[in-house]
Amino acid sequence: MEAECLSTTMEEGFKGLLRLTGSVKNYDWGRPAKESCVARLYSLNSGVQIDENQPYAEFWMGTHDSGPSYVVEEKGRTDNGYSNGGGIKEKCTLKDWIEKNPSVLGQTVLTKWGTQLPFLFKVLSVEKALSIQAHPDKDLAILLHKEQPLVYKDDNHKPEMALALTEFEALCGFTSLEELKVTVQTVPEIVEVVGNALAKQVLDLNEDDTEEKVKLVLRELFTEMMSASKDVITEVLAKLISRLNIKNKARQLTDKEQLVVRLDKQYPADVGVLAAFLFNYVKLKPGEALYLGANEPHAYMYGECIECMATSDNVVRAGLTPKHRDVSTLCSMLTYRQGNPEILHGTTVNPYTVRYLPPFDEFEVDRCILPPHSTVAFPSAPGSSMFVVMGGEGTMTTSAEEIVAEGDVLFAPANTNITIATSSGLHLYRAGVNSRFFEE
């Protein structure tokens, strides 16, 4: 049955704030319910009691079919559904509501992306490592979706940004050439998997070599490792962990070695444990952000973050996962760029708000922390916005005043002036189309 959106919110030029319920994902890498920010937010947002036996991993806010947001109807309606005298109709998704009210996205956004909200907003609670993965660029996404629609759910690219709520750990991009050579020299188990000839090729590389030559060797090394048989990896990892346990008695293990030992407990005999040596190990402090372009390898390790991305759920995985692996696609699609990723610290917009602007048109994120008895304005923007309240309570005023508190999710149409005030303190995040997109 097609969802029906009530005419009360269908007025031409709707200028208010639309309350939403988000979707939750209970992936096995999520945090236990009692410790999960996602569980708490979802329960407050939806009124659904959390299941204490389940991990809570992701809270989704947006229009993607894999985790749609729904319009919250006015009080007096039951189950957030639409009363039709005798029964409850299906709930109205934000996607359906936008299709019936396309002007809320703003003309510039409609021209570029149609009635699809261009960004997907999430909160993540990570207890154990996510898969070693990359997201395809637009051309590859179209191809993968066409060939394997059940695995690759849409035809869009998925650049993304993670903004730390707690200390947040991730593997991201390949280490520098210098560090790669040290790794090959000090981790004999890698040489055992890839062979002496390939190890020598790595060690013979130098700064004078062309970027293309270095990338070719790195690609060969990574592909050889990721393609090794399960038996070889099982045997080699047993040796590696045994060696590190012995080393640990003589000296403190490095951060990367400690991580590898931890990953082996989470994903025993998984090639991703060995592959971790090849990636940058990044630790973000709260308020720091990391962005990931198409075809860049990464894996979130631990912590909680706000995440924003282009509206897509396309993931190519090759390690640290029980899910479908597509090793050949991953190894062939990567850029093999080396060196530390850029950490974003944000730009101050006003005394309470910091803006994070990744180099992608689809999104930006604002972090707003209001102390008690303060007010802040979010001036109208040419595109729509999504707000999530992470803590405290206050009011958001457009043409009317809305009382907001932790767990509330609100959609603001384009060209809407919003004033936010609090007496007790308020912590919230806003996602919107990247401001630079409108300046071009």
Residues annotated as catalytic (active site), given as ranges: 317
Check the annotation: does 160 bind a ligand: yes
What's the N-to-C CA distance of the chain in angstroms? 41
Residue 207, annotated as binding a ligand: no
Q: How far apart are the C-alpha atoms of 307 and 289, rounded to whole Å?
A: 9
CA–CA dist 164, 307 (Å, integer): 9
Contact 260, 129 (CB under 8 A): no
List the structure tokens of 396. Answer: 């958001």
* Cα 168 to chain centroid, rounded: 12
CA 137 to chain centre: 16
**Torsion angle defined by CA atoms of residues 291, 221, 215 and 309, in that order, rounded to the nearest 10 degrees:** -20
Question: Where is 106: in which H helix or E strand?
Answer: none
* Cα angle value 17/366/412 (rounded, 5°): 15
Question: Does 133 show up as a binding residue in the annotation?
Answer: yes
**Cα 102 to chain center, whole Å?**
26
Q: How many residues does the chain have?
A: 440
Region at 426 (left for phi over 0; alpha for psi -120 to 50; beta for the rest): beta
Tokens of 293: 């372009």
Annotated ligand binding at 298? The verdict is yes
Tokens 């036996």 belong to: 53
CA–chain centroid gap for 220, Å, is 28
Beta bridge partners of 396: 402, 420
Helix (H, G, I), strand (E, B) or coil at 96: helix
Residue list for the binding site = 133, 135, 160, 298
Residue list for the binding site for Zn(2+) = 133, 135, 160, 298
